[in-house]
Structure formats: C-alpha cells, structure tokens
Amino acid sequence: MTGDRKHRRCVLFDWGDTLMRDFPEFSGPMATWPRVESLPCAREALDTLRSRGWLVVVATNAVDSDEAAIWEALQRGGLGDSVDRIYCFRNVGHRKPDPAFFDFVLQDLRLGRSEVVMVGDDFDVDVAGANAAGLRAVWLIPDSEQARSAGTHRMIRDLASLPDLLERWESERT
C-alpha cells in the first residue's frame, strides 16, 4: 500500500507506439530523431488521468535511450509535463515481460499490484507480461481486429478512451 503517498493508483505506459510514435526509419535515441511526435490524444489522456489522481509513469524497454533522453523526447513530443516518472531498461536492469521489471517499479513506487495498470501496444510484452506479474493491463490496438480479452486486461483502439475505461474498471472492482 502507499501509506501516506499522494497517489493510490498508477498507470504504467509503454513508450514507443503507445505514447510516442515509433518511426522505424530512424535509429538511435528518439530525442535525436529529426521527427518526434506523440500519438493522437496522448497529452489529453495523460492530463485527464493526472487530474483524476492517477500517477502517470513511462515503463519502457528502450535500449538506445536513457532516462534523460526519454525525458527530452517526451518534451519534444509535448508530453514531458504530463508524465510523473520514467522507468527504462537502463535504470531498472530488467526488461518487460520479466516480472522483475514490474517488481522493481512497484517497489520503487511503493504501490501494490492492485493499484497499478500497464498500458501498451505489445500483447506479449506489455499485457501478458503485466498480467504474469499480477498487474492489470490495457492493450492499445488501434489498427488491429485481434481480440483477446480476460478479467485481467481490457482493449482500447485509442488513448482518448483510456481515462473513462479505467474509471469504469475501477468502479467494477469496488
């Protein structure tokens, strides 16, 4: 539990193709790419979540970017002021879907598994990985007709629908 912590619930966001568009034609740290952009409605979704008391955290396997470079890319994409924390492979030492990645984040944030939801575009890494670590997850699948649903995850087509989905999911749990 969070004890005296301000936030009692947290959303972990994957970075590439979840919050920021991943351009496969560019290499190296995203902050140095000639073009950097956030996904549609990302800023609005993050700001809405934060206004509703959610802690907004980036949880990424990025190998080319350290935490400072991720902050710089988020700033360039207009999301830097909408994110509270960043956890990346370089500062965690583990990669999703390894449960050790999620355990590190939970311990550092001093949050319980029931207080955290992972959002990402990769079903196996973000969703199944989070579920295996005991976390709920949301699968962002904007261009897919795939459907995999379970009690421990939900699906969305766009980030605009995320805040209301999370509020409904939270109310179902109480």
- Look at the chain and report how many structural domains it folds into: 1
DSSP lists the bridge partners of residue 140 as 156
CA of residue 51 relative to chain centroid, distance: 17
Residue 65 in domain: yes
The answer to whether the pTM exceeds 0.85 is yes
Answer whether residue 123 shows pLDDT above 80: yes
CATH number at residue 89: 3.40.50.1000
Query: Is 16 inside a domain boundary?
Result: yes
Residue 5 within a domain: no
Mean pLDDT of 98-111: 97
Overall average pLDDT of the 73-80 stretch: 98
Cβ atoms < 10 Å from Cβ of 1:
9
Q: Which residue in 170, 162, 126, 174 sits closest to 44, CA to CA?
A: 162
Q: What is the pLDDT of residues 11-26, one digit of tens each?
A: 999 999 999 999 999 9
Question: Residue 24's domain spans which residues?
Answer: 10-173
Residue 3, in any domain of the structure = no
Buried/exposed code over 139-165 (b: 16+ C-beta within 10 A; e: otherwise): bbbeeeeeeeeeeebbbbeebebbbee
* pLDDT (tens digit per residue) in 128-151: 999 999 999 999 997 766 666 667
The reply to whether 4 falls in a domain is no
